[in-house]
Amino acid sequence: MSDPISIATLFSQLDLDPDRVIPGTYSGMSGWLISKGAAELEVRNPATGTRIATIATTTPEHYERLLEESRAAFDSWRLLPAPKRGQAIRLIGDALRQHKDALGSLISLEVGKIKAEGDGEVQEMIDMADFALGQSRMLYGLTLHSERPFHRMYEQWHPLGVVGIATAFNFPVAVFAWNAFLALVCGDVTVWKPSPKASLAAIAVQKIVTRVLENNGFPQVSGLFVTMDHRLAEHFYADSRINLLSFTGSTAIGTRVAEIAAKRLGRCLLELGGNNAIVVDRSADLDLAVPAIVFGAVGTAGQRCTTTRRLIVEASIADALSERLVRAYRQVRIGNPLDPRTLMGPLIDAHAVERYAAVVRELQSLGARILYGGRVLDGPGYFVEPTLVRAEASWSLIQEETFAPILYVLTYSDFEEALALHNSVPQGLSSSIFTAQLVHAEAFLSARGSDCGIANVNIGTSGAEIGGAFGGEKATGGGRESGSDAWKNYMRRQTNTINFSHELPLAQGIRFDLETGADKIP
């Protein structure tokens, strides 16, 4: 796809025009909006640094139109039966299947993921559409037993309103699907703010969604706006017309988002940073552990929230495992993410490279033993070496999430020490243990074990399936998206009680007698 003709064909397939400024605002009633006063965002290929498109960002006036039209669309969409809303998502999933190859390539071009990961992200959207279709017939409430005679009590779930979705560059479209497909079957309308580092793929997906809804007689219930202006972004977070704000990004920015939303008592769903660890004991099958560790540390060039950043190894096998990892790292092919032989693409931009280099410099100042890597690669693009470091748990760096392919190797003597090391960081997203010992596996999954939202045995930290609720604890934000009962985030719960007697008993046995006369209404 590095050939200009191939890129032109790709853009044509996705209804994008690289030779014109691409509108970065979509509103259901007004369509794609662009104004002469809009700031322009250049989209560059991180593998080459070359411009691949220009996007017109959203003006405050167009944002206001988007929000007002989204509120109006909600009034009708929430009345459409949920199974019919599910059919809309089914058709979107079918369209994504048709465009999977092109979308996967566009993701690789825009954010530097290898082609297999780009395609995998689109497949995740397709899987989410299938899941949401089934969920549209399973928005269950409970029947409850009243303590009062001749009373029926139950709960039901109603659409919430407008769901704002702010996504990060590392998963430019899949996280949108986690949120939007569930929100839409729940009767909500969505407003999407993609990262300015990954807006082109978002626009391509929005075009697919728009076309499917229009061609099949559904209202336009999914809007999008692109901005580089932090003031407009913060206005979005503070907007009381947003009934739920789902934010994916760093812990630092997520904390700010939560503060802004809290001032209006807004509901937030936060998916923030991870500092994920794999524990390996001496009973572990290293043939399983090594590829899981390498993929977890190197996949997406270390720019996943579920990236493996710490390796906590029983001291007796640390040297042997480190040697195997060095051999595996030497096999990691770095380069053009659209080349099927490539295993690791570039970092997202120059700032990410500088952050990687700064951490390596700090490690060197600490006297760290760098087992592999540590270099910024010469040439075009934002390429670095995957880096493996023998580290000390006391280093403050261990507490931080470096969004780059740097893996710290820590050692332990007994299993209680391993658990303490694992849980010693502020973040709590994903975790894993490799072991053949049942007691270690069960302890890791117990209340005294991993304090993360995701805990695995004999698989890595990265690559969660959509059927389970995704999210983490502590500084990761506590949000849950995707599977299980995550759909409840996008609805409001209502408890209902029906009295079908001629008496008015109060709960808890309270008596409140009034003389109301002898006559009773039948």
Q: 66 pLDDT exceeds 60?
A: yes
Write down the pTM of the prediction: 0.95
List pLDDT tens digits, range 330-366. 999 999 999 999 999 999 999 999 999 999 999 999 9
Name the catalytic one among 69, 110, 117, 271: 271
C-beta separation of 14 from 25 below 8 A: no
Q: 8 pLDDT exceeds 70?
A: yes
Is 268 one of the catalytic residues? no
C-beta separation of 352 from 303 below 8 A: yes
Cα separation, 233 vs 56, in Å, equals 16
pLDDT score recorded for residue 516: 62
CA angle 267, 269, 271 (to 5 degrees): 155
Name the catalytic one among 186, 268, 305, 452: 305
Tell me whether strands 454-457 and 406-412 are parallel, antiparallel or unpaired: unpaired
List pLDDT tens digits, range 282-324. 999 999 999 999 999 999 999 999 999 999 999 999 999 999 9
List pLDDT tens digits, range 104-163. 999 999 999 999 999 999 999 999 999 999 999 999 999 999 999 999 999 999 999 999
Is 40 one of the catalytic residues? no
Cα separation, 287 vs 294, in Å, equals 12
Report CA 424 to chain centroid distance, whole Å: 24
Cα separation, 513 vs 319, in Å, equals 80
Q: Which of 448, 403, 455 is nearest to 429 (CA)?
A: 455
